Amino acid sequence: MVTTYSNWIAGEFRDSADLLDVVNPATDEVIARVPRATEADVDDAMSAAWEARKSWALTPASQRAAFVSRMAAGVRENRQMFIDTLVAEQSKTPELAAVEVDFTADYLDYTAGWALRIEGEVLESDRPHERILMLRKPLGVAVGILPWNFPFFLIARKLAPALVTGNTAVIKPASDTPINALQFATMISDYGLPKGVVSILSASGKVASKMAGDPRAGIVSFTGSVPVGKQIMSAASNNVTKVSLELGGKAPAIVLDDADLDLAVKAIHGSRVINAGQVCNNAERVYVTRGVADEFISRMTDAMAATKVGVPGVDEGLDMGAQINAGAVDRIEAMVQRAVEAGAIVTTGGGRDDRGKGAFFRPTVLTDVKQDSEIIQEEIFGPVLPIVVVDDFDEAIAKANDSDFGLTSSLYTRDLAAAMKGMREIDFGETYINRENFEAMQGFHAGTRRSGIGGADGKHGLYEYTRTQVVYIEA
């Protein structure tokens, strides 16, 4: 039986005659039907959030955080349900789905812990009887537009800091993966949140621009592709609304002659196949110095060829499941074909995994790729790893920085001086040295160039949801 879900709008569940099918990308089976919110639904959600914003902002931060802590407890109580949902609607392996669900609960608790740590400043005045205070205040209504690759965690990443800092929130999940968000809405529906503080609604992509362009929005936080991010930014610009955008990456991994190759191969392979290669901060291209290039390429080819691909929840011990949909497979296959036509060599993989159903692509390694090629310059977002051989570290850094993207990067070396040089000269928002590409919740996940504006996580991510007010008191 296929379950039909409802939207959570302004404190009530709302059904719709217009439904979207949600498909398991590994089996092509319809697993749920979700509502397609109308413009009237969006307006109601934004209106309710707007009406609730003042009283919510005046609610003590500790009380706001208590709701977020309860959400964390609810996630843990419903852990298996959320894991099963992610496995079915996004083709995540059960192990990775468990990591996402557990990290989400921890993130909610971590953010709630900031409630009594939000700080202003006392500034010196040049007047003898004056005090200058800088306060932090909420922005009002926070619009969160979620991606499909880590859909459950992104609920927490966008909702928790908004609520703790005193904003109300309207959340729109991705059309490919809305079930977990609507289940989350059901979970919190009896928590006693004031009407309008949180609305969660499934809708088509066109609704995202309407939400971003709503004059009642105080901040629009979007995670997704560059083209859609530009549309969001354009819509928000009509009202000069603040935007926080994470728009993908093209992360370089640099492997030097002195690197621990066991570590480098393991970390980069895991980075490339986790979530079927559909992660913004994972290694998308490798620059390896000539002294270890042949050995690295051989080892990486073997590792990618040995990747276990299958249907999550059915097959055991998987490294990865399917791509998000058939369109993603078509796009990845076309990129690989164009790379091969331009002279790239396929050492393993190279095409779709045609098992009769499901959106699968074989883990692929490409060598002899050119720096100015599409496969090096544009985001693949799939299990394909192009490798470039370089003569030295300086060439590797220059080619790594030669990108319109600037989210994450990585470096493998045993040389402390090389590590320090990488810290200085690698021009990305995050750099991982001798470890996997995975950010910490207390860090600041932010990129540069086409990878976006603003950021998330930690103190600085929390403060994205605030504005300053400077008060001059003379008495």
**Which residues are known catalytic residues?**
246, 280
Other CB atoms within a 10 A radius of the CB of residue 121 amount to 11
- C-alpha to C-alpha distance for 346 and 290, rounded to whole angstroms: 19
Q: 365: closest CA among 342, 352, 349?
A: 349
The DSSP code sequence of 92-147 is: --HHHHHHHHHHHHHHHHHHHTTTTT---EEE--SSTTEEEEEEEEE-SEEEEE--
* Helix, strand or coil, per DSSP, at residue 334: helix
- Asked if 46 and 168 count as a contact pair (C-beta separation under 8 A), the reply is no
Query: CA-CA distances (angstroms) from residue 139 to 96, 125, 220?
Result: 34, 27, 10
Q: 173: closest CA among 7, 340, 405?
A: 7
- C-alpha to C-alpha distance for 456 and 442, rounded to whole angstroms: 9
- C-alpha to C-alpha distance for 26 and 320, rounded to whole angstroms: 11
Q: Residue 307: what residue type?
A: T
The secondary structure of 51-98, three-state, reads HHHHHHHHCCHHHHHHHHHHHHHHHHHCHHHHHHHHHHHHCCCHHHHH
* Helix, strand or coil, per DSSP, at residue 347: strand
Residues listed for the chain: 475
Alpha-helical segments (H) within 276-321: 290-305
Instruction: For residue 361, give every residue at least 6 positions away whose Cβ sits within 8 Å of its Cβ, in sequence order, or none.
Output: 276, 323, 328, 329, 332, 333, 349, 351, 352, 353, 382, 383, 384
